[in-house]
Amino acid sequence: MTKIGLEIHCQLTNLESKLFCSCKANYREFEINENICPICMGLPGTLPRLNQEAVKKATTIAMALNCSTPEKIAFFRKNYFYPDLPKNFQITQLNIYGDTSIGGTGSILVGDKKIRIRRIQLEEDPGRLIYEGSSSKNQITLVDYNRAGTPLVEIVTEPDFENPKEVRDFLKILSDLIENLGVADPTLEGAMRADANVSIEGGTKVEIKNIGSFHDLEKAVHFEITRQESLNSRDIEIAQETRHWDDRRKITVSARSKEEDLDYRYFLEGDIPWVKIGIDTRNELQSKMPESISSKKERYISEFKIPSQVAEVLSSDKFYSDLFDKSFTQENAKEVANIITTDLMGLVDTREKREKSKLTPEHLKNLANSIISGKIARNSAKNALHEIVKTGNELDAVIKELDLGNVTDQLKLQEIISQVINEEPQAVEQAKSNPQTINYLVGKVMQKTKGKADPSLTLELLKKNII
């Protein structure tokens, strides 16, 4: 049986500052090496100061993944020399004096399968290496320390995955969960990274490092299983090694032999005392946890009779579920859900588009109510939504400007219906003998009014005219 285990690194991107200093956690908006200070540069004489908010946010993640949370946490130095790590050690966590990392064992359901979590730890992100130059001869390596010290949560799973699809499903659930908790934006470049270990039936464990996105993680796992199976079929032994994911060529390549924990010479970080997270604090964090995705889904189904699939799409994305929760009334909930899942999702499908969108919950509420009251047809509502997202104008103004209002004037509609009856004598005869075919004529009226005729009024008038 193939066994896959994951180590997910998730930056707490929604925090104000880094893990041990007051530099910004959001390093992405800075020029290279601008978001740094003596602490995150590891200069002699500086002392780390633990970001309490990071401890709380990381604990919340642990709770959401049903992990045990310890009474006291401790930090350790992981010693290694690498240019992206100016201190020559990383401050991280390790469970050698009992469970002292931010989260202990836990689990999460992926479909019907339980994926076990081994532990969750809080640590600092290193800096970033940038390679420049076209060939290996003139290649230079630059270091950007803006990222050094960014709060990072590492989630380690047991090797419970059996194929790349299970990995993909888990990642989707995990990134939705992280987003729903409001602790990070998983769509930011580099915010979620991963290492994986893969072993096929009877084989040895191979670790894949450096996978920069969830999209590539599935590919890397798939590649590694195929590579190991190919070696196996040719009776070549699979070496126990660390491989790097080459995201340009989309393959794994052999890297240095893996360091053992002993090589890192872990020892307690003496500059940070053990931190007590008392039961009161943990209870408070638990009570402040946002509603979970699954409970949102249940609520949408049971309270508003929203179809299960629509409820699933709506609840799993924080952006859409927040919008829904601020826009619905008991009367328009189904229509609001409909607009979001059928029209809006296509209009704001990227982070940039969401940020630019001028749509407010008030707009959405108005639009849904106007569809229900027959002021605007569903077809036209889509055009109106497009305009509102772009301009932020009020619905009434948009309807007027784009001439999107329904034709509800009976006289005007009768005029159009008479025209259609004249033009379609055959269809009219057919409708007389087989009333169901009247829909064809409704369609013709819609065509003439560019979808703006009130559908129920049209049907009523057509019936009066023909039958």
Which residues in this chain contact Zn ion in the complex, by CB under 5 A?
21, 23, 37, 39-40
Position of tokens 């872990």? Answer: 266
Nearer to Zn ion by C-beta: 10 or 21?
21
Nearer to Zn ion by C-beta: 37 or 255?
37
Within 214-351, strands assigned E span: 242-246, 251-254, 267-268, 275-276
Nearer to Zn ion by C-beta: 127 or 186?
127
Calpha distance 106→36 (Å, rounded): 35
Within 309-378, strands assigned E span: none
Nearer to Zn ion by C-beta: 30 or 319?
30
Calpha distance 151→49 (Å, rounded): 13
- Give least dist CB 36 to Zn ion, A: 6
- Give least dist CB 131 to Zn ion, A: 24
- Give least dist CB 55 to Zn ion, A: 18
Task: Report which secondary-structure segment, H or E, holds 124.
Answer: strand 113-124
Task: Report which secondary-structure segment, H or E, holds 369.
Answer: helix 361-373
Calpha distance 68→105 (Å, rounded): 6
- Give least dist CB 47 to Zn ion, A: 12
Nearer to Zn ion by C-beta: 40 or 178?
40
Calpha distance 25→14 (Å, rounded): 8
Nearer to Zn ion by C-beta: 147 or 444?
147
- Give least dist CB 125 to Zn ion, A: 12
Nearer to Zn ion by C-beta: 90 or 338?
90
Nearer to Zn ion by C-beta: 70 or 126?
126
Helix, strand, coil distribution of the chain in percent, nearest 5: 45, 20, 35
Nearer to Zn ion by C-beta: 87 or 375?
87
Q: Which residues contact 243 (CB under 8 A, 6 or more apart)?
A: 206, 207, 208, 209, 224, 252, 253, 254, 255
Task: Report which secondary-structure segment, H or E, holds 364.
Answer: helix 361-373
CA 148 to chain centre: 24
* Terminal alpha carbon distance of the chain: 69
- Give least dist CB 198 to Zn ion, A: 36
8-state DSSP, 357: -
Task: Report which secondary-structure segment, H or E, holds 284.
Answer: helix 279-287
Task: Report which secondary-structure segment, H or E, holds 110.
Answer: strand 106-110
- Give least dist CB 40 to Zn ion, A: 3
- Give least dist CB 42 to Zn ion, A: 10
Nearer to Zn ion by C-beta: 23 or 371?
23
Exposed, middle or buried: residue 49 (CB in 10 Å: 0-12, 13-18, 19+)? middle
> Strand 89-92 and strand 76-79: pairing?
antiparallel
- Give least dist CB 16 to Zn ion, A: 12
Give 289-316 as a DSSP string.
Answer: PPPPHHHHHHHHHHHH---HHHHHHHHH
Q: Which residues contact 60 (CB under 8 A, 6 or more apart)?
A: 181, 183, 285, 289
Nearer to Zn ion by C-beta: 39 or 192?
39
- Give least dist CB 43 to Zn ion, A: 10
Nearer to Zn ion by C-beta: 43 or 109?
43
Calpha distance 362→365 (Å, rounded): 5
Single-letter amino acid code for the residue at 266: Y
- Give least dist CB 385 to Zn ion, A: 44
Cβ atoms of 73 and 97 within 8 Å: the answer is no
Calpha distance 11→123 (Å, rounded): 10
Beta-carbon count within 10 A of 236 CB:
10
- Give least dist CB 117 to Zn ion, A: 30
